Amino acid sequence: MPELRRDLITQKWIITGMRSKEKFLESLNPFQKKTTNGCFFCEKNEKNTLPEIYAIRKPGTQPDTPGWQVRVVPSKAAAFKIEGDIGKEGHGIYDLMNNIGAHELIVETPQHVKNICDLPIEQIVLVLKVYQIRLRDLDNDDRLRYGLIFKNQRPKSPYRIGHSHSQFAALPLTPKILKEELTSSREYFAYKERCLFCDIIRQEQRDVKRIIEENADYISFVPFATKFPFELFILPKKHNADYCAENESSLKNLAQILKASLGKISVALNDPPLNYVLHTIPYMRKKQGYWETIHNDFHWHIEVYPQMTETMGFESGSGFHIQPLLPEICAEILRDAK
Ligand SMILES: [Zn+2]
Ligand SMILES: [Zn+2]
Ligand SMILES: [Zn+2]
**3-336 CATH choice from 3.40.50.720, 1.10.3720.10, 3.40.50.300, 3.30.428.10:** 3.30.428.10
Ligand nearest to the CA of 164: 1
- Judged by average pLDDT, the poorest of 13-22, 33-42, 129-138, 232-241 is 33-42
Distance 153 CA to ligand 2 centre (A): 28
Cα(303) to ligand 3 centroid in Å equals 6
CA 302–ligand 3 middle distance (angstroms): 7
Which ligand sits closest to the CA of 38? 1
Whether the CB-CB separation of 54 and 129 falls below 8 Å is answered with no
Taking the C-alpha atoms of residue 327 and residue 176, their distance in angstroms, rounded to an integer, is: 25
CA of 301 to the centre of ligand 1 (A): 28
CA of 240 to the centre of ligand 2 (A): 6
CB 204 within 8 A of CB 211: yes
Residue 317 pLDDT exceeds 50: yes
How far does residue 217's CA lie from ligand 2's centre (Å)? Answer: 13
What spacing in Å lies between the alpha carbon of 125 and ligand 2's midpoint?
23
DSSP 106: E
Strands of 157-228 (E only): list them: 165-171, 211-214, 218-221
Please write the tens of the pLDDT for every residue from 163-211: 999 999 999 888 889 999 999 999 999 999 999 999 999 999 999 999 9
pLDDT of 289 reads 62
> Which ligand is nearest to the Cα of residue 157, counting in written order?
1
- 209-221 pLDDT, tens per residue? 999 999 999 999 9
